Amino acid sequence: MTTLYEISQLVDEQIRSDKAPTYLDFYERTFSAVRETPLNILEVGVLNGGGLLMFARYFPNARLLGVDINQPPALFTQRLTEWGLKDRVRVVQGSQNDSAFMTSAIHSFFGNELLDIVIDDASHMYRRTRATFDLVFYSHLRPGGHYIIEDWGCGYWPKWPDGSPNGRRGLPRLVKELDDLVALEDQTRLWQGKRAMKVSETQPSPIDHMIVMPAVVALVKASR
Ligand SMILES: C[S@@+](CC[C@H](N)C(=O)[O-])C[C@H]1O[C@@H](n2cnc3c(N)ncnc32)[C@H](O)[C@@H]1O
């Protein structure tokens, strides 16, 4: 069977995704078992559309929605038509932190169906990425669904707009907050008469587990 990397190479070089082979290996390992399943996939941050074209061919029964503040180039639309993907791939223009836009974009393409996979490869900035997570993870991702944030390490770069070398701002800050969320049950557990958070009952985490790798953070939503 053709690998995700091999499929990525079928996309014209000028619109090909710049996802590095390590990212593609991760996606292959995580999703090869469900490759033929009808999936609902959201990619936030489309650029030239190479990632969407690649995933659309890798997942032949998936529907894919892309969201970006800019429109992809004409070559992307041309390839969608030539490769017969127009019915199951759509791109809409808007910002990831505009919750009314995001809600309407998701509903108009997927109806009331929940998402199976979300890939946030858009601004890579704390507030916008957090806004997308707060909306999409809680309201649109199915229990057991995957939520992936790419390129979080750029938040350590001193010249990144919200970067800082100590990792207290930008996406490293978000990763720490997500880590806290994984530990919500312990934070809210009564221990020696005290709780880390002001709640009266232990609260289960909305996250089943989280994988943190260089460049990619991947969460699986709790099934409860
Ligand atoms: C790294 S590129 C995406 C690459 C693409 N996923 C791929 O695999 O080829 C980041 C994209 O995010 C978009 N973007 C930046 N800020 C955004 C925002 N606030 N809302 C939506 N998209 C945004 C940019 O226009 C750019 O196209």
pTM of the entire predicted model: 0.97
Condensed to tens digits (0 to 9), the pLDDT of residues 25-78 reads 999 999 999 999 999 999 999 999 999 999 999 999 999 999 999 999 999 999
Region 179-200: mean pLDDT is 89
pLDDT band at 191 (very low <50, low <70, confident <90, very high): confident
Q: Where are the alpha helices (DSSP H) in the chain?
A: 4-8, 21-31, 50-58, 74-82, 99-110, 126-132, 138-139, 170-182, 184-188
For residue 82, pLDDT beyond 80 = yes
Among the listed residues 20, 17, 22, the one whose alpha carbon sits nearest the alpha carbon of residue 53: 17
pLDDT value of residue 194: 85
pLDDT digits (tens, 9 = 90+) for 86-131: 999 999 999 999 999 999 999 999 999 999 999 999 999 999 999 9
Decide whether any atom of ligand 1 lies within 6 Å of the 46 Cβ.
yes
Residue 209 sits at φ, ψ, to 5 deg, of: -160, 165
pLDDT band at 192; cut points 50, 70, 90: confident
122 lines ligand 1 (CB under 6 A): yes
Residue 187: inside a domain, yes or no?
Answer: no
Q: What is the CATH number of the domain that holds 37?
A: 3.40.50.150
Quote the ligand 1 centre to 45 CA distance (angstroms).
3
In a domain, 179, yes or no: no
pLDDT for residue 175 is more than 80: yes
Residue 109 lies in a domain: yes
Number of domains in the chain: 1
Determine the distance separating the centroid of ligand 1 and the alpha carbon of 67, expressed in angstroms: 8
The domain of 97 spans 4-166+207-221
In a domain, 154, yes or no: yes
In a domain, 76, yes or no: yes
Q: Grade residue 200 by pLDDT with cuts at 50, 70 and 90.
A: confident
Whether residue 198 is contained in a domain is answered as no
Does 183 sit in the ligand 1 pocket, CB within 6 Å?
A: no
State residue 150's pLDDT score. Answer: 98
Inside any domain, residue 160 = yes
CB 162 within 8 A of CB 170: yes
Quick check: is 157 in a domain?
Answer: yes
